[in-house]
Amino acid sequence: MPPSPTIFVDADACPVKEEVYKVARRTGCPVFVVANAFIRTPPDVTFVMVEEGPDLADDWIAERVKPGDIVITNDIPLADRALKAGGAALGAKGNPFTVDSIGTALAQRAVMEHLRSFGEGGGGPRPFSQQDRSRFLQALDTAVQKAKRG
């Protein structure tokens, strides 16, 4: 049986850190929480503070993810990098990024950035709900079990 996957959390604005800790403890997965500002983490979690700057936390994670590892992020380019490294990527609402879906997600992101540059497409995402939290827990548990099976 393969070792437990490492879970990397792109921690800036991540609403599911406590859920990650819960699943990691139950499944024996090491966790790295990466951010450019201090975040209090439990003693059994490794906190990594990177310098401030665009994509430095993403770069730290992407340079370390290996096949079977899991990256928790809403950042689509980081999810793409995790997939290319052989890892899995999950959004905070439990949506898995896949090799089949990442191209569409990147294209959609580019379109939205273009619209925002003209002052269009505002409003942001809907509020995070208990249903999102539950969906995330289930998706992370599934990803860990899949990684453990190899």
- pLDDT recorded at residue 1: 59
Q: Which residue has the tokens 């896949």?
A: 98
Contacts 24+ apart (CB under 8 A), 14-20: 14/72, 14/73, 14/74, 14/92, 15/92, 15/128, 15/133, 16/72, 16/92, 16/133, 16/136, 17/41, 19/133, 19/136, 19/137, 19/140, 20/72, 20/140
Q: Is the pTM of this model over 0.75?
A: yes
pLDDT in tens, 49-86: 999 888 899 999 999 999 999 999 988 899 999 999 99
Q: What architecture is domain 7-149?
A: 3-Layer(aba) Sandwich (3.40)
Q: Which residues of the chain have pLDDT under 70?
A: 1-2, 102-103, 105-107, 109-125
Under a CB-based contact definition with an 8 Å cutoff, are residues 60 and 71 in contact?
no
Structure tokens, 35:
């951010």
Give residue limits of the domains in the chain. Answer: 7-149
Give the Cα separation of 8 and 89 in Å (integer).
9
